[in-house]
Amino acid sequence: MRIAWKCFPSFSIVQIIFTMKTKEISVEKVGILAGALECLAFIAYFMLMKYLNLVDIAELRWLNLLIQLGGIILALRYYHRKTQVRIDYLNGMALCFLTSIVGAFLFSIFIFVFFSTIDPLLLQLLKDNTPMMGKYLTPFSAAITVLTEGTVSALVFSYVVMQYYKDDPNTVKEDDTINSDRM
């Protein structure tokens, strides 16, 4: 198994996640790493749509929300599985929000670099096919739009997902484990 990781250095972030010890687990670390993986999923989806010539169909951007929701849920499940502790409401909101913001921020950087240096012709195609904002579309405005959409959906998904996870009776609260250690 170790040899496989050495052959694929680009998967080192995945290796860090799967080899992280329970004592090293924190909301911040899991959120940043899950956000980076979420960004990789965004990039893979974007490149798939580009090579299938579906980038100009704006409605397909809604599938980014499924990627974002999946990243949030997987981050929460990973944190719970590694710590065996039910995350409290505010820490859960922070984990969900951090995961989404990191993913959206990194993806917006990718979008800016992609449209400004790698494929400016695709940006021109989007300008021609976008009726309302097309003539104002620049690499910077596209990146800001991605970041804004990601931030707003991060707020909504963090709230919605934590409504589901806040009352999970099968897990122990963080406060209960702290109090049981004192006895």
- For residue 16, being part of any structural domain is answered with no
If one counts the domains in the chain, the total is 1
Structure tokens at 38: 């979420």
Q: For the chain, what is the mean pLDDT?
A: 80
Beta bridge partners of 176: none
Q: Is residue 150 part of a domain?
A: yes
Query: Within 13 Å and on the Cβ side, how many CA atoms surround 108?
Result: 19
Residue 149 is assigned to a structural domain of this protein: yes
7 belongs to a structural domain: no
Top-confidence residue, 67 or 126? 67
Look up the domain containing 40 and give its range.
25-177
In angstroms, what CA-CA distances link 130 with 59, 124, 134, 135?
12, 10, 5, 8
Residue 165 lies in a domain: yes
- Is 17 a domain residue? no
Phi, then psi, of 67 in degrees rounded to 5 = -65, -45
Task: Read off the pLDDT band of 148 (50, 70, 90).
Answer: very high
Lowest mean pLDDT among 137-146, 150-159, 162-171: 162-171
Rounded Cα distance between 46 and 123, Å, is: 13
Q: Is 179 exposed, middle or buried (0-12, 13-18, 19+ CB in 10 A)?
A: exposed
Residue at 97 is within a domain: yes
pTM for the model stands at 0.76
Burial of residue 87, with CB atoms counted within 10 A of its CB: 0-12 exposed, 13-18 middle, 19 or more buried: buried
Whole-number pLDDT of residue 40: 96
Task: Tell me the one-letter amino acid at 86.
Answer: R
- Residue 16's pLDDT is 55
Cβ proximity of 131 and 96 under 8 Å? no
| Token reading at 171 | 């897990």
